[in-house]
Amino acid sequence: MRRRLYFMLPDLPSARAMLDELLLARIEIGHMRFMARDGTLPADMPDVSVLQKTDVVHGAQLGIVIGGIVGLGAGIFLIMFPPEGLTLRTAAILLVALGGALFGGWASGMNAAAVPNSRLAQFAERIEQGQVLMMIDVPVRRVQEIEQMIAKRHPEISFGGSEPPMLAFP
């Protein structure tokens, strides 16, 4: 399990220094992301992805739940009032609910792709001023160690918060 930590760095040179220090602390580059004003981040630094920049994940999750509920209701309605000459089984409820969840997740995710990530809204103003947001995913057992290392070596860096632990996928 990993926990995502957010840090606001004063500028790009300090972001470069933090990247090097975290690599020396054995944090893989695939678990680090930086977000700066458009076009200012060098190509060799890991940039945030669309999934991290937008609310796609949250929108898809919400769409799956709502679509599943609506699909379940539609499936129950179809079983109670079947079309003339058609015999439906109980499995139709599950199929319609699954179809509703898939459609809801897809439609809501597509809409949420145009919405900036609500978790990153608190950092938007400082990013526009030229600061750099660093997001790192560290193993839960190393969170305190990494926070202390950054606070000790770079007191100018402000801690932006963390997210609850998440499953680590390869």
Same domain, 126 and 157: yes
Single residue among 90, 112, 134 that ends a domain in this structure:
112
- Residue 7 belongs to domain with CATH number: 3.30.70
Report the distance separating Cα 87 and Cα 65, nearest Å.
Answer: 28
pLDDT tens digits, 142-168: 888 888 888 887 777 777 666 655 554
Among 28, 34, 31, smallest CA distance to 46 is for 34
pTM of the model: 0.70
Same domain, 104 and 122: no
Is 167 within the bounds of a domain?
no
pLDDT tens digits, 51-97: 888 888 888 999 999 999 999 999 898 888 887 877 778 888 889 99
Q: Residue 129's domain spans which residues?
A: 2-49+117-162
Report the distance separating Cα 65 and Cα 101, nearest Å.
Answer: 6
Number of domains forming the structure of the chain: 2
Check if the beta carbon of residue 134 is closer than 8 Å to that of residue 9: yes
Is 60 within the bounds of a domain?
yes
Among 32, 45, 54, 62, smallest CA distance to 134 is for 32
Same domain, 11 and 33: yes
